[in-house]
Amino acid sequence: MTEPTVPRPAAAPLAPPVRYAALGDSMTEGVGDPDPARPNGVRGWADLVAEQLTAAHPDTRYANLAVRGRLLRGIVAEQLDACLALEPTLVSLYAGGNDLLRPRADVDALMEVYEPAVARLRDSGAQVVLLTAFDPGRDAPTSWTRPRQALYNEHVREIADRHGCMLLDYWRMRTLQDWRYWAVDRLHMSPAGHTHVAARMLELLGVQHALELPSTEELPVTATPGVPAEDLRWAREYLLPWLGRRLRGTSSGDTVTARHPEWTTLRPRPVLPAGPAPQDGSTAPAEQARP
């Protein structure tokens, strides 16, 4: 990696028209924040950001190319060129989280793939927001990954400096250390967690928002590590299927497609709980681009 670095930019006003593309895995796809009326049956923080951007800049366009289960190399191979072809003005990238769960993850080798992708995004003229990995803490089932996640994050911070990217430091969001911000699978954020990240992203971008952030005391208990009966249920319903996919060489995203591969417009609206979640990644009628 080359020197020198450049100062990390502060929040700068977004110049309309905003064309926002979100790249990544399940965290950016929106897993953990269910909404049966939306593509893939989820909403997520990137949708919330897009909705608030549209409220501030009505001509905003949004694409979400993220797919659950994707490794970093898969994200770069499948999403980078598709993103650049859209000519976005704003891109968010979180990639590598699934790699860090692999037994033999080589963080230095991963970043040799990550940094050229960031350089291409910046060379396109887009404003780029990079996200660090989250600190799982000592009680999470992924706590054993903390050292490699910390190393990954230092790489991300240095790359953000070198390429003039903005940084959303997910690792330092200590509010999210409370399990009430996490889904029952203990791996993905709950709706409240996604809303919290969306608010932090909008604040980083200097965009006023109307997102409602409930106090922690108002949130339901969705994950309870350390309770034997709950730990057994979690292992049966989530850990064993995850291990089975690893042994079979399959992924939760094998039959899933990008939620918004082309430009669409999202406007703020509540979650609609009725109706089955799409199983094939198809676009629900309510989410087609609106004039």
Tell me which of 4 and 208 has the higher pLDDT. 208
Give the tens place of pLDDT for each residue, 8-52: 555 567 888 999 999 999 999 999 999 999 999 999 999 999 999
Residue 50 placed within a domain: yes
pLDDT for residue 272? 63
| pLDDT at position 164 over 70 | yes
Q: Which residues contact 79 (CB under 8 A, 6 or more apart)?
A: 23, 24, 65, 66, 67, 258
Least reliable range by pLDDT among 105-119, 163-177, 180-194, 196-210 = 180-194
**pLDDT value of position 230:** 75
Indicate which CATH number applies to the domain containing 139: 3.40.50.1110
Mean of per-residue pLDDT scores for the chain: 86
Question: Residue 251 falls within a domain, yes or no?
Answer: no
Kindly state whether residue 135 falls inside one of the protein's structural domains. Answer: yes
Residue 249: the pLDDT is 75
Round to whole Å and give the CA distance between 159 and 167. 10
Residue 281 in any domain: the answer is no
Name the residue range of residue 28's domain: 19-222
- Per residue in 203-249, pLDDT (tens digit) is 999 999 999 888 888 888 877 777 777 767 767 776 677 677 767 77
Q: Kindly report, residue by residue over 59-108, the tens digit of the pLDDT.
A: 999 999 999 999 999 999 999 999 999 999 999 999 999 999 888 899 99
Q: Considering only 115-119, 174-178, 260-264, which range has the smallest mean pLDDT? A: 174-178
Whether 274 is covered by a domain: the verdict is no
Is the pLDDT reported for residue 166 higher than 50? yes
Per-residue pLDDT, 13: 74
pLDDT level of residue 277 (50, 70, 90 thresholds): very low
Specify the pLDDT at position 40.
Answer: 95
Domain assignment of residue 3, yes or no: no
How many domains in the chain?
1
Per-residue pLDDT for 260 more than 50?
yes
Confidence of residue 5 (pLDDT cuts 50, 70, 90): very low
- Structural domain includes residue 252: no
Query: Measured between alpha carbons, how far is residue 226 from residues 176, 217, 223, 232 in Å?
Result: 18, 20, 10, 10
Is residue 77, in this structure, part of any structural domain at all? yes
Rounded to whole angstroms, what are the CA distances from 130 to 45, 85, 92, 142, 222? 14, 20, 6, 22, 28
pLDDT band at 289 (very low <50, low <70, confident <90, very high): very low
In the predicted structure, residue 279 carries a pLDDT above the cut 70:
no
